[in-house]
Amino acid sequence: MTSENPALGVRQEPGTTSENTAAALAGYQQALAVAPLSAETRRTYLSKVRGYLTWLATADTDGDPLTEGRAQDWAVRDYRTHLVTVAKRAPQTINTTLAAIDDFYTRRGLGPAAAGRLDLPAQAPRALDAKTALRWVRAIAAHPAPRDRVLALLPIYAGLRVSETVALDTGDVRLSARKGSLRVRGKGTTVREVPIHPQLRTGLQTWLEERLAWPGAGTSPALLLNRRGARLSVRGASDIIRAVAVAANLDEQDITAHVGRHTFATTLIRGGTDLVTVADMLGHSRLDTVRLYTRPSAADRERALNLLPYDR
């Protein structure tokens, strides 16, 4: 792809950056390994940066985007154009990619690229509608494995991110005679308390009893263990939720931990819960983030169209 930017005087031929892009990716992977980010974020950022560097290795750029500030800005803008016009990625995906590339360049000492984000459609995050949410909850209840039921219940009944779910320890679950709460470690050093819904309480009690017989029960503090007795990973948790959805004949693309978290927030807000309470339960420090859930969804727009007269 030819750069859309003015020449620097020295035109860089495809694949002739001062540092091999494979080496740049390897260095970034090492930096991510010790970065204070969730495993899911590290995996996403690495994937997005790998795509950018793969494109960069064959791109016709002005200067060296790996070492020169202006060349960096122009290359990222060109890649943004590529994602829009050639790859046809969704605006949210492109913005996530740009955030990953900014992280890559920041860790290289160049700082974020001067490339604006795309405007996003003003609609709520994707959540399950009431009918699908009920099907999902019934599918979880019918699943035979207590650990997997708890794993699938935590996002939709407690609003947890998948990284927060696997980070739970048995000591974070506090059950009394009738009530209970979860101590959740969120992003950074934040900690919040989330009340336990009765449906989740039953699942937790059943799993805690079965957990006693699992490998690692006496040595690992993790609430959710894998079959080897170690803490369940983010990838393992995501695969399990996907498998539960497939077993219930639900579209696994629509059923993820993040969608469960969005469904939790959307249900509370549309049920009349104030934004401050929802923000507190989700672990958000800014109300603007929670206000996204008050926006109309695609389903809301479809229902609005159904109100119009239709002459058959």
> What digits encode the pLDDT tens for the residues 174-183?
998 788 999 9
261 is catalytic: yes
258 labelled catalytic: yes
Q: Which of 248, 192, 250, 187 is nearest to 41 (CA)?
A: 187
Confidence of residue 309 (pLDDT cuts 50, 70, 90): confident
- Whether the pTM exceeds 0.75: the reply is no
pLDDT digits (tens, 9 = 90+) for 85-139: 999 998 889 999 999 999 999 999 999 999 999 876 666 678 888 888 999 999 9
> Which entry of 28, 105, 157, 293 is annotated as an active-site residue?
293
CA angle 224, 126, 263 (to 5 degrees): 50
For residue 4, is pLDDT > 70? no
Domains contained in the chain, CATH given: 11-107 (1.10.150), 130-300 (1.10.443.10)
Measure the CA–CA gap between 147 and 208, rounded to whole angstroms.
9
Q: How far is CA 23 from CA 28, 33, 50, 78, 295, in A?
A: 9, 16, 11, 22, 43
Confidence of residue 17 (pLDDT cuts 50, 70, 90): low
Active-site hit among 187, 192, 197, 270: 187
Query: Helices in the chain by DSSP H: which ranges?
Result: 21-33, 39-58, 69-85, 91-107, 130-142, 146-158, 162-167, 198-211, 234-247, 257-270, 275-282, 287-291, 298-305
Catalytic residue (one of 50, 82, 185, 258): 258
Query: Active-site residue among 80, 147, 161, 231?
Result: 161
